[in-house]
Amino acid sequence: MQVTRRAVLAGAGALAVRPAWAATPPRLELEPRRGEVQLGPEGTGPARIWGYGGAVPGPEIRVRQGGRVAATLVNGIDQPTTVHWHGIRIDNAMDGAGHLTQMPVEPGARFDYDFTVPDAGTYWYHPHFQSWEQVARGLYGPLIVEEAEPPEVDRDLVLILDDWRLTAEGGLDEESFGSGHDWSHAGRLGNWPTVNGLPQPEIPVKMGERLRLRLISAANATVMVPRLDGMRAWRIAVDGQPAPVVEQAGEFLLAPGQRVDFIADIVAEDARLMLAGRENFVMATFPAEGEMRREALGMPAPLPPNPLAEPADGPDALAAEIVMEGGAMAWLAEAEVGGMVEGVSGTLDGRALAGAGLFWALNGVAGMPEAPFLDLERGRTVKLSFENRTRFPHVMHLHGHHVREAETGLWRDSVLVMPDSRLETAFVADNPGDWMLHCHMLEHQAGGMATWFRVA
């Protein structure tokens, strides 16, 4: 099994010629079900996972910009589930946000997703119900939207990074699911990283080969600090959206849910994807056998822009704020409990909140409120600030839209807000519907850091 998946990985470039963007796309079946894969290091046994088609990651969905994705969720696990298409500026009804845009799909039941993809870039899909458990068990896959004219590369490689919490035998640590410590601290941090569900895969390359690397973090909570060794790399996109081309020197941050695309030229025989934060853990190796070209190709051209509306910095812009509070070392004294949380309501003190599994609040509310925190007319520019008054970093993800970070100028759908700091963004609320805004550290989301806004 591993050998086949490795071969698939190595041959991924062949996918580029597949006419996935034909007018009527074939309907794909996405079946979350149980599977068994080798995740851990040599000498450990297989792990029982949940994956789309029983594998992790799920199938790569590749479509041309402006094309359609048609996928049927066939629920083969014994929990309700949904599919959320992370980062896609999608038709609201297809967003997969459990209890907000659709009812979770019961075991054995089906749901048809069908939507068009307005932006080229690197996206991914995962459940949006009980995601702290379902994503951690392996339910996720890549969704790649190709530019009308993709940049010229020798190979286009998707690398989904994950950070598993494994037992010494190599199985999933199931005992710690729902741990109050994880929920009130940094979330479910793992102890064993993988790439495309593989432990330290070997991806053969050639000297001088030019790769497009699409990195996706499917980790529950870990902010990864990757580094590319033996490659000359330029960052060309973040969170799917084209970014000014800059040469990547050294390590960078990749928070849960975030993506980054590089054009990377192989310049050493032992190129590697490293995790700098983890005492230089080797995530993947790229052994070079043979030579593809000798001359350096130089800095790549920027990607063509996506059709995103530019926020207007006029008097009509609405200033809005998300204040993040709670968690260990800054415990909530009290908070209002969001009306979508079953079984509890009203204002609770910290102890009662903790008893309900709620440790975090956004604007004084723990959990999904019954009413949106913003009710916007379509086309309104929102200047959205995030203020982190907790002791932990949070990666705030909003659905259906991308925001422009004031400081970096980058478009993102998932912004990393460091402890005791503030981050300013702006976006145009031009996609009608009800959209979630939550921390993508999935235990934080479940522990209260979730809200939503409405665009008329």
Applying CB under 5 A, the residues found at the interface with Cu ion are 394, 439, 441, 444
For Cu ion, give the closer residue by CB, 89 or 188: 188
Q: Binding residue for ligand C2O (CB under 6 A) from 12, 69, 82, 86?
A: 86
Residue 183 is inside which H or E element, if any? Answer: helix 180-184
Q: Residue 85 CB, nearest distance to ligand C2O (Å)? A: 9
Lookup: tokens for 358:
């709620």
Task: Return d(Cα 191, Cα 236) in angstroms, integer.
Answer: 30
Are the CB atoms for 117 and 67 separated by under 8 Å? yes
Q: Residue 449 CB, nearest distance to Cu ion (Å)? A: 5
257 near ligand C2O (CB under 6 A): yes
Residues in contact with ligand C2O, shown as a per-residue x/- string from 371 to 400 under the rule CB under 6 A: --------------------------x-x-
324 near ligand C2O (CB under 6 A): no
Q: Residue 40 CB, nearest distance to ligand C2O (Å)? A: 25
For ligand C2O, give the closer residue by CB, 84 or 137: 84
Q: Which range, of 7-15, 36-44, 207-215, 432-440, touches ligand C2O by CB under 6 A? A: 432-440
Residue 441 carries which side chain, given as an amino acid letter? M
Are the CB atoms for 50 and 164 separated by under 8 Å? no
Task: Return d(Cα 158, Cα 289) in angstroms, integer.
Answer: 21
Q: In what order do the strands lie in the sheet with 121-126?
A: 61-64, 141-146, 121-126, 84-86
Selection from Cu ion, ligand C2O, none that 438 binds (CB < 5 to 8 A by kind) is ligand C2O
Q: Helices (H) and strands (E) in the chain — how many of each?
A: 5, 33
Number of residues that this document lists for the chain: 456
Cα–Cα–Cα angle for 235, 17, 74, nearest 5°?
90
401 near ligand C2O (CB under 6 A): no
Check residue 4 and report its DSSP letter: H
Q: Residue 445 CB, nearest distance to ligand C2O (Å)? A: 7
Residues in contact with ligand C2O, shown as a per-residue x/- string from 128 to 147 under the rule CB under 6 A: x-------------------
Report the interface residues with ligand C2O, using CB under 6 A: 84, 86, 126, 128, 257, 397, 399, 436, 438, 440
